[in-house]
Chain A
């Protein structure tokens, strides 16, 4: 069993706490001059996403979580699970709703996502920072208006709704920033 000592604690480190995989958010070393040293640590539970605070005696060890981030290709949604594939080994993984969360509205087949795996099970799915998606529904475009001022809502093929400039038409493909949920440009302009 791999372990981490408190002096290895830093943001991002993955540990097991009460049986659940967790990530250290913030680690503060606390010690009175000649007294007992402690680590006061903010920890995110990777299953529930809740952040808690814990105290450790400095020098104590905790179990390391076998958690890793891998790049997987998104395949399809079967109504219950989202299926991903490791592009080299062709190994497949299925992620549940808790792991996919908000990423679902950006998932397009064959796009590469960063997936956090714990003992081989997806805990969290991060969509690519930029995705290229087709507009399936929007009000008719205003000819000649290329200013982008104002804007209108557009529904994309994955179901996401973003604000786009008035000149965008149905059927066009757009580049979208998934972190902000914002239109960037027409796909062929980027």
Chain B
């Protein structure tokens, strides 16, 4: 068998090493401090779509360093980033590997627009490309579907998906807007995004917001953004929620949704909630998939080629 062999070429590994160096140089120049928080944590995030890997007797492999980084923010550590592996159960495919590298950073006193701009600057600096202008979620969704994703009822979204044979046969979740928005966004809208350079989409619907701030003036809109390049999701960021009580309510809502879906329930991360109650400064943050960025820079059509060994050869 040839299963022992690497997936990536030496040239790719060299490009990867250079990319990591360029990212660190970018952060150092802008005064963002590199930190290393535990990859094996005692609590897992509550978000219903994030499945953490459980390690017997030890806790959970982190699907993102968000909780630990926010505890550092609450302890006044200033602008910080972590660059390293994260783990997500069940996410294997052409553009997914259950273990992948993430660059996640936060800036106190920054807003969503600051973080969108800084993410664009980072991508341009390390990938040597020009970014396309940002667009609103509502606009890109409407352009493809003719539906308003903020106002539209779940049933109308479901109809649109069913008429185009995009819906799963047994999708009973007719009143679950988040489900249908995810489906249509992933299958119909996302492939159109970032085709003229990396592109940011801002102001996502608020349905599934957990640790994300929502817009006080525009109901249904969250201060969340995502970057896309060649139809692939590259980064996900937000203006962060600072209110501990709201965070607790939303985490409990996610726990309930997990139970209803038969997914493993997780305990609330009380240390994060304590940190937020003590005082998380107003801040914005973003997480970027490093392997995906490398694969797209290299012009690959799957993630595996950017990895020394992919999930199948681990």
Residues in chain A within 8 A of chain B (CB atoms): 7, 27-38, 40, 52-60
Contacts and interface: CB of A to CB of B under 8 A. Distances in A.
A36 B168 contact: no
B94 interface: yes
A31 B168 contact: no
B232 to A, nearest CB: 11
Contacts of B50: 34
Contacts of B305: none
Contact of B171 (A37, A40, A57, A58): A57
Contacts of B167: 55
Nearest to A39: B93
Given A35-B49, A60-B168, A40 B187 contact: yes
6 contacts: A28-B93, A29-B94, A33-B233, A35-B49, A37-B90, A59-B90
Given A7-B90, A57-B171, A36 B179 contact: yes
A38 B168 contact: yes
Contact of A30 (B49, B90, B187, B287): B187
A34 B88 CA distance: 10
Interface residues of B, number: 31
Nearest to A62: B169
Contact of A56 (B93, B168, B236): B168
A182 B226 CA distance: 54
B183 A29 contact: no
Given A29-B96, A31-B96, A37 B91 contact: yes
Given A29-B91, A55-B168, A34 B96 contact: no
Highest count of chain B CB atoms <10 Å: which of A27, A28, A29, A52: A29
Nearest to A26: B94
Nearest to B91: A31
Nearest to B50: A34
Contacts of B291: none
A7 B92 contact: yes
Contact of B169 (A7, A27, A28, A54): A54
B56 interface: no
B90 A58 contact: yes
B94 A55 contact: no
Contacts of B165: 52-54
B182 A35 contact: yes
Interface string B159-200: 000000111111100000011001101110010000000000
Contacts of A36: 49, 178-179, 182-183
B90 A35 contact: no
A68 B253 CA distance: 46
A32 B91 contact: no
A38 B91 CA distance: 10
B99 interface: no
